[in-house]
Amino acid sequence: MSLNERIANDMKEAMKSQNKFSLSVLRMLKSALQLEGIQLKKELTDEEIMVVIKRNVKQRKDSMEEFKKFGKTEEVENLEKEIELLKKYLPEELSEEQIEEAIDQVFEELKPQSIKDMGHIMKELTSKIGNQADMGVVSSKVKARLQ
């Protein structure tokens, strides 16, 4: 079953069970997926769907940080629930050790000399671990090693 079908089925289940929260989040996701499909002028693949979901999770995390600054705990809790719901459509994220191993492998292959090699390293890491890790975290680890 494709990711798109899984999301559609979960939407139907949320409608049947009258779970308004899940239905609302899934409708927002479906809307974002349709918009992305229109922009790309094609049916989205599972990989492209995961990119859209990760983007939505990141937006919610950014919003959470802003709400935390102003002490809006109810909104923060809602966003946490939304993130948990969205994350069930993403592959399990790599552990810190697995990320470090991937970085070690790329460093051995490319033997970077300076921070100027960051682009090559990140390109290689993106192809290796793609949607399985927060690339912001990976980028900061690589940058720390290069300095």
CATH code, 106? 1.10.10
More confident residue, 25 or 127: 25
Residues 63-77 have pLDDT tens digits of 999 999 999 999 999
In this structure, the answer to whether residues 44 and 7 fall within a common structural domain is: yes
In this structure, the answer to whether residues 79 and 135 fall within a common structural domain is: no
In this structure, the answer to whether residues 69 and 125 fall within a common structural domain is: no
Its domain, for residue 28, covers 3-87
AA identity, residue 30: K
Distance between CA atoms of 147 and 144, rounded to whole angstroms?
Answer: 5
Q: Can you list the alpha helix ranges (DSSP code H) found in the chain?
A: 3-16, 20-40, 46-69, 73-87, 96-110, 118-129, 135-146
Calculate what percentage of the chain has a pLDDT beyond 90.
Answer: 54
Return the CATH number at 38.
Answer: 1.10.1510.10
In this structure, the answer to whether residues 109 and 56 fall within a common structural domain is: no
User: Model pTM?
Assistant: 0.77
Last residue of a domain, one of 44, 67, 87: 87
Report the 10 Å Cβ neighbour count for 11.
17
Q: Is 146 left (phi over 0), alpha (psi -120 to 50) or beta?
A: alpha
